[in-house]
Amino acid sequence: MGPVDYLVVLFPEGGLTGKIAPELRRLSDAGIIRVIDLLIIQKDANGDVDSFEVSEVGGELEEELHVFEPKTKGWLSQEDVEAIGDGMPNRSIAAAMLFENLWAIGVKKAIVDSGGELLESGRIPPELIERAQSESSTITIKEG
């Protein structure tokens, strides 16, 4: 299995549509990623949080995202939903997705076959990338 990443994307109430689905489908069809789990999380005006599988959403959104439903495995837990909900404003909706980076499987195999081992992996925050690009400067990936 390749590395697994997660994304949580926040939308204002009613802002989540199926417009993201074609790009996810393109990445999936090209063998770049595999969607492992996908949940829709909603926080209402009272601050109550609920989550939905794609098949429970209905409408255009379900039509656009249903292609990922059979590939989901329920890796996102209720604790994940609660933690995500804690960071959401009232009257908002979020999409939480776990995906496997299929493109990295070959690299992983080559590393193992050559006797190497992964020492560290991480993700550079967007604000550091923007700063490095705008200032043509270096970034520090390890603090401390």
Interior/surface letters 33-45, b for 16+ CB within 10 angstroms, e for the rest = bbbbbbbbbbbee
Give phi and psi for 56, each to the nearest 5: -95, -5
24 three-state secondary structure: helix
**Do residues 84 and 94 touch, judged by C-beta distance below 8 A?**
yes
Tell me what the mean pLDDT of segment 52-80 comes to: 76
Q: At 20, is the pLDDT very low, low, confident or very high (cuts 50, 70, 90)? A: confident
**Is the model's pLDDT at 73 over the cut of 70?**
no
Q: What is the mean pLDDT of the chain?
A: 86
Going through the chain in order, the beta strands assigned E by DSSP cover: 4-12, 33-43, 49-53, 92-101
Whole-number pLDDT of residue 111 = 93
pTM exceeding 0.75: yes
CA distance 72 to 58: 17
The domains located in the chain, with CATH, are: 4-104 (3.30.1490)
Whole-number pLDDT of residue 72 = 64
Whole-number pLDDT of residue 85 = 96
**Is the model's pLDDT at 63 over the cut of 80?**
no
Whole-number pLDDT of residue 70 = 58
What are 75-131's pLDDT values in tens digits?
Answer: 899 999 999 999 999 999 999 999 999 999 999 999 999 999 988 888 888 888 888
**Is the model's pLDDT at 47 over the cut of 90?**
yes
**Is the model's pLDDT at 144 over the cut of 70?**
no
Handedness of CA 28, 31, 37, 41 (dihedral sign): negative
